[in-house]
Amino acid sequence: MSERPLEKPKKQRQVLPAEMRVDALVGAAADLFIERGIDATTVDDIVNRAGVAKGTFYHYFATKTEVVHTLRDRFSADYLSRVASAMEACPEGDHTARLRAWIRGAVATYLANFQLHDVVFHDFTHERRRSEEKDAILDQLASVLQDGQRAGAWQVPDARGVAIILFHGMHGLVDDAIAAGQRGPEPLCDLLEDMFLRMLNA
Amino acid sequence: MSERPLEKPKKQRQVLPAEMRVDALVGAAADLFIERGIDATTVDDIVNRAGVAKGTFYHYFATKTEVVHTLRDRFSADYLSRVASAMEACPEGDHTARLRAWIRGAVATYLANFQLHDVVFHDFTHERRRSEEKDAILDQLASVLQDGQRAGAWQVPDARGVAIILFHGMHGLVDDAIAAGQRGPEPLCDLLEDMFLRMLNA
Amino acid sequence: MSERPLEKPKKQRQVLPAEMRVDALVGAAADLFIERGIDATTVDDIVNRAGVAKGTFYHYFATKTEVVHTLRDRFSADYLSRVASAMEACPEGDHTARLRAWIRGAVATYLANFQLHDVVFHDFTHERRRSEEKDAILDQLASVLQDGQRAGAWQVPDARGVAIILFHGMHGLVDDAIAAGQRGPEPLCDLLEDMFLRMLNA
Amino acid sequence: MSERPLEKPKKQRQVLPAEMRVDALVGAAADLFIERGIDATTVDDIVNRAGVAKGTFYHYFATKTEVVHTLRDRFSADYLSRVASAMEACPEGDHTARLRAWIRGAVATYLANFQLHDVVFHDFTHERRRSEEKDAILDQLASVLQDGQRAGAWQVPDARGVAIILFHGMHGLVDDAIAAGQRGPEPLCDLLEDMFLRMLNA
DNA sequence: AATGAATGAGCGTTCATTCAT
DNA sequence: CATGAATGAACGCTCATTCAT
């Protein structure tokens, strides 16, 4: 008699490098969070999609929340580097060009990632509204403003304050476009460039 | 007579007008949501604070979520009317003054209510980011911009777009101030007036 | 100013004869029980459909279960009288014809009312399987058998026992036909007549 | 050391083969369902009697209803096999003996299990009255009839129809005996044999 | 007799986390 | 490292019944 194959293949215990496991879990979590939201996603869902046992999840993350934090860090780092590289193409001295580059980089990056953004910043209340991640992002823009200021390209009374206004102005405009189903960056960037430069060059 | 060892006083049944009951429930819910968040507040918590039985809650609301919606509607209506009355003091023709009034009204109202704001707009994702409430709020500002435009006070390429930028710029700046613990509106308003008017009058 | 009509017409308190109220409630309950089952029907459902306030229900019935009992009684009385009148057409002395009449009357009545039957005998367990209603129904058939026996038309060792066998045999066959979607009585009656007469005339 | 006033012993976690856990839960459920009925039995009752945590119940069953289905399947399988083995003792060719064996097997099995029967077939309405389980049971009897028919032992116009009549006749007679408190199979079997054979041999 | 607001005990289900293997 | 059975606190919601009006 041939061996009767078990109904449940009793998945072989598979030893994999930590990094792969973490990536699989974080990736599965990201997809599911985007699909159905954080609360509606269970740890079971995550491990099922990642093809891993439940205990394995807790081997790599202390809590479900920790995955959200990991995702948040990845999101911020990615955002920062994408915008930075968008600005790198610009000559150091051309401040207007750098601001334009910031706008285009920020809009493009946000448009490309807004779903994950929604997920990872979902539970931001005022207690957490000033975070390291956000400070880094604002600093990036504030630097542009300050450099231009120092070089006499424009006058800003308060670089951080203005950075906040610009950042959230941009954010809100893109949000609205997303909600309206307009996913093209051009008209948004044009309007933002126009208004922001008017603000600075007045 | 049999002993009656400290049984609960069997609170008398109170028949009250619907509006009072709803207010008590909504009020209790608002307080608790602000204190501990929506998820951490149970329906039991709400009815205990409101001093009614659990069934009474479900007599007036189909689900816990429905209270959040009610709160959202109340928040928006309140915001709208407060800002409107802040602007009413201004002469019709003075568009700059009206924009200033909008800024001061909006900042003051938001500062006064940000905790509830956090609660009721907590779960706004892009699917809901363009809502009737928000449209009403944006329209209010867009009207100011359009009136000024028509009167030749300034040039705005796209009233709704600019309204979005201003609204979110304001929002972000106040958020940051709240997070930093600065609750005074003055410096915020000054900066916003300065930047917004530069943007419009360029 | 004309009086503003209230949004809720505040249904006028209507005094009606008890019998009409009871009929309305029992009728509404029967419909709903058939539609969705007893458990899935709430007292609220019943009063809504009956167009009556909740308290009125408890004015006429002590409990929800009591309506089921009322319905049960009505069902049984109706069944009994329908079958009886089906047999009345037969000459007293023709026992075979009377049995045939019983079969046709019982099948037709059950086919016409099986939905309500399902509802009112839903929770019959062995504790309740011998009830007054059922006894009355079995007696009706047992009398036919006994009369025939006395007249020498057939031999039955135990009239009540045989009545039970015939009654449930009929019941089961009709149930199966209903489940199969065949709602015509003829083939069922033919088979039952054939088998039952064979049983008795052997 | 701090005092540890009678805290619960914190039952050790026991890892057991799935089958044992399922059996424990199904068994506890069956007992309780029989004792107090399905609705009056809570999932808490079941897990307490089975000695497991509530979550364990839902690890093995998606809903409370699922246990009822499991019980139904077990009941039907048990019934079928008991009756089958009661008939196995009979010589293939003796059709009357096989029918007698069916009667005795069916009566005995039903008498032995009627309480569980009441539980698992409690909510059978016409929508479910023709089920796979029942078909299997009817087929078993219909085969006996058909075999006898083919061998010329008797004439049945419609094997399935007659099987239904016999099965429900038997069922009803046993139900009545149970309700009357007579638990001995003999008189029931005697009557059934007499009547059924008269029906077939006519 | 009639109304409908108010009550509150009760229950099924969820799911993050633990831990024996 | 990896597995997945086991845990149990927690909660939203239902609904028959009561009773002030």
B13 touches strand F (CB under 7 A): yes
Shortest CB distance from C126 goes to which of D175, D192, D202?
D175
CA A120 to CA A131: how far, in whole Å? 13
- pLDDT score, position B66: 96
Q: Which two tokens stand for residue C54?
A: 């909740």
Shortest CB distance from C173 goes to which of D37, D125, D165?
D165
List CB contacts (< 8 A) between D165 and chain C.
Answer: 169-170, 172-173, 191-192, 195
Taking each helix axis as running N to C, give the angle between helix A132-150 and helix A95-120, from 0 to 180 degrees, rounded to the nearest 10.
170
In this model, does residue C11 exceed pLDDT 70?
no
The whole-model pTM stands at: 0.89
DSSP 8-state secondary structure symbol assigned to residue D51: T
- pLDDT score, position C168: 97
Q: Which nucleotide is nearest to B57 (CA to C1')?
A: E6
> What backbone torsions phi and psi does residue B17 show, to the nearest 5 degrees?
-60, 145
In this model, does residue B157 exceed pLDDT 80?
yes
Q: What is the mean pLDDT of residues D117-144?
A: 86
List CB contacts (< 8 A) between A201 and chain B.
Answer: 202
CA D175 to CA C63: how far, in whole Å? 29
In this model, does residue D8 exceed pLDDT 60?
no
Contact A164, B153 (CB under 8 A): no
**% pLDDT > 70, chain C:** 94
Between A128 and B32, name the one with better pLDDT. Answer: B32
In this model, does residue B9 exceed pLDDT 80?
no
**Most C-contacting residue of D164, D166, D186, D200 (CB-CB within 10 A), to test interface:** D164
In this model, does residue B150 exceed pLDDT 50?
yes
Q: How does pLDDT run across D20-46, given as a tens digit for each residue?
A: 999 999 999 999 999 999 999 999 999
Contact A153, A96 (CB under 8 A): yes
Q: How far is the CA of B39 from the C1' of E9 (A)?
A: 24
Q: pLDDT band for position C4 (50/70/90)?
A: very low
CA A52 to CA A54: how far, in whole Å? 7
CA B114 to CA B133: how far, in whole Å? 16
Taking CB atoms and an 8 Å limit, are C158 and D115 in contact across chains? no
C43 touches strand E (CB under 7 A): no
CA A24 to CA A18: how far, in whole Å? 10
3-class SS of residue D191: helix
3-class SS of residue A110: helix
Q: What is the mean pLDDT of residues C165-173?
A: 97
Which of C 111-150 have CB under 7 A of nucleic chain E? Answer: none
Q: Which of A136-140, C56-60, D9-13 has the weakest average pLDDT? A: D9-13
CA C99 to CA C132: how far, in whole Å? 22
Q: What is the mean pLDDT of residues D90-109?
A: 95
CA C153 to CA C146: how far, in whole Å? 10
Q: pLDDT band for position A16 (50/70/90)?
A: confident
List CB contacts (< 8 A) between D176 and chain C.
Answer: 129-130, 164
Q: How far is the CA of C59 from the C1' of F8 (A)?
A: 43
Contact D189, D103 (CB under 8 A): yes
Chains B and A touch (3+ CB pairs under 8 A): yes
CA A164 to CA B187: how far, in whole Å? 14
Between A17 and D105, name the one with better pLDDT. Answer: D105
Q: What is the mean pLDDT of residues C139-167?
A: 96
Q: Which residue has the tokens 């008699």?
A: A1
Task: Annotate B35-103 with DSSP letters as a single string.
Answer: HH-TTT--HHHHHHHHTS-HHHHHHH-SSHHHHHHHHHHHHHHHHHHHHHHHHHTS-TT-HHHHHHHHH
**% pLDDT > 90, chain B:** 81
Q: Which nucleotide is nearest to A64 (CA to C1')?
A: E16
Taking CB atoms and an 8 Å limit, are A166 and B169 in contact across chains? yes
The protein footprint on chain E, as nucleotides within 7 A of a CB, is 1-21
Q: How does pLDDT run across A39-75, given as a tens digit for each residue?
A: 999 999 999 999 999 999 999 999 999 999 999 999 9
In this model, does residue B175 exceed pLDDT 70?
yes
In one letter, which amino acid is B2? S
- pLDDT score, position B3: 40
CA B36 to CA B14: how far, in whole Å? 29
Indicate the average pLDDT of chain A. 90
Chains D and B touch (3+ CB pairs under 8 A): no
- pLDDT score, position D10: 59
Residue closest to D62 by CA, chosen among D48, D75, D43, D49: D43
Q: pLDDT band for position C10 (50/70/90)?
A: low
Task: Annotate C72-138 with DSSP letters as a single string.
Answer: HHHHHHHHHHHHHHHHHTS-TT-HHHHHHHHHHHHHHHHHHHHHHHHHHTTT--GGGSS-HHHHHHH
Q: How does pLDDT run across D157-187, given as a tens digit for each residue?
A: 999 999 999 999 999 999 999 999 888 999 9
A vs B: CB pairs below 8 A: 112
**Most C-contacting residue of D125, D133, D154, D156 (CB-CB within 10 A), to test interface:** D125
D7 touches strand F (CB under 7 A): no
Q: What is the mean pLDDT of residues B53-68?
A: 97
Taking CB atoms and an 8 Å limit, are D176 and C125 in contact across chains? no
**% pLDDT > 70, chain B:** 94
Contact C142, C159 (CB under 8 A): yes
Q: Which two tokens stand for residue A8?
A: 């449940």
CA distance to partner chain C, nearest, from residue D195 (Å):
6
- CB within 8 Å of C71: residues ≥ 6 apart: C26, C29, C30, C33, C116, C119, C120
